[in-house]
Every structure is written in C-alpha cells, then in structure tokens.
Amino acid sequence: MEYVIFDQDWLDIPIQDYPVGGLCVCLDPQKRLGEKTWSVLEVNSSEGPPNALGLFWDKDMAVWFAETFA
C-alpha cells in the first residue's frame, strides 16, 4: 500500500490527487490537536470521503504511522 504526503489541509487536496487504495498524510482542517494537527487518511475510493485513521501532533509520527500501517 502506498502513501503520499501533502503539507495542506485534506479538504484542499484535489480528489484526483488522493492515492486510491492507499494512505494520505496531511494536515487536519479541524485542527483538533492544535494549529499543526496531522492526519493519516485511508482512501478507499475516488468517489467517497477518506477515512481518518489517526491524528498526530507531529508530522514525523504521522509518516511513521503511515509507513507502519502500509
């Protein structure tokens, strides 16, 4: 399973850029853990919204999670 990293809110990422069947590491638009909240999303299809797998304070931890999960 592949993953991609975006340094922007997941709502601002064009749907065609999501890795269908993969993971996306990006910023959480709701900023649930503070100004720089990172999300790991699972993208199941190009039609529906992605599923959030986790929230992280640190980008490196989000990437580590994506690498481990993938």
Confidence of residue 2 (pLDDT cuts 50, 70, 90): very high
43-58 per-position pLDDT tens digit: 987 777 789 999 999 9
Q: How many domains does the chain fold into?
A: 1
Start-to-end Cα distance in the chain: 5
Global confidence as pTM: 0.89
Confidence of residue 32 (pLDDT cuts 50, 70, 90): very high
% residues pLDDT > 70 (the chain): 100
**Quick one: pLDDT at residue 49?**
78
Please give the residue range of the domain that contains residue 48: 3-69
pLDDT at residue 45 in the model: 78
Give the strands of the sheet with 38-42, arranged side by side: 3-9, 23-27, 38-42, 51-56
